[in-house]
Amino acid sequence: MEADKDRSAAKRGTLEWITAVVMFLLGVLVMVDSVRVGIRWAEDGPQAGYFPFYIGLLLCLSSLWNLAKNFLGKTVAQKSFVGRGALKLILAMLVPTIVYVVLIGWIGFYLSSILYIGFFMIWLGKYSWTRSAAVSGAVIVCTYLMFEIWFRVPLPKGPVENLLGLA
């Protein structure tokens, strides 16, 4: 059982290759969109895509450099990047956070945050439902007062805020 936790979930070289390809594609996207808005030097200075184009070009070149290093250096590629036990811990935080971000778009920031804080308090912190509800509610009330009232920065609202007249 313990040996299974130590087994490699991903090799370093594989993840470096994936990262380099994704960053290369991101660089290409930046360059293409920069060409769309203009990359030349106009009479009044650089066009809107001038600097982003070169940033995208540097991103593509550095990604190609990383790909070349990955293909030439096989010793690093075989090293484990993360073990299965550590990957489970990472995913235990990552998956609920992704769900939280998606929920903000559907039900708004405040209700999503109450659910997110409460979930982690109950699941990882092993706190009671009542304590989790009290703390997550208090945090959201403080957040509402700070951002919406004092700083006047509106946060994404959902159907609950609309029903309460807070939107």
- pLDDT for the residue 96: 96
| Integer Cα distance of 54 and 56 in angstroms | 5
Alpha carbon distance 7, 32 (integer Å): 41
Q: Which of these, 95, 113, 91, lies nearest to 103 by C-alpha position? A: 113
Per-residue pLDDT of the chain (167 residues; tens, 9 = 90+): 556 667 888 888 888 899 999 999 999 999 999 999 999 998 899 999 999 999 999 999 999 999 998 888 765 667 788 888 889 999 999 999 999 999 999 999 999 999 999 999 999 999 999 999 999 999 999 999 999 999 999 999 988 888 888 77
Whether the model pTM is above 0.85: no
User: What pLDDT score does 160 carry?
Assistant: 83
The pLDDT value recorded for residue 4 is: 64
Relative orientation angle of helices 50-72 and 12-37, to the nearest 10 degrees: 160
* pLDDT on residue 116: 97
CB crowding 106-135: b at 16 or more within 10 Å, else e: ebbbbbbbbbbbbbbbbeeeebeeeebbeb
Domain ranges of the chain: 2-78, 84-164
- Return the pLDDT at 25: 98
Give me the phi and psi of 151, to 5 degrees please: -90, -15
The number of beta carbons lying within 10 Å of the beta carbon of residue 73 is 11
Question: In the prediction, which pLDDT does 81 show?
Answer: 81
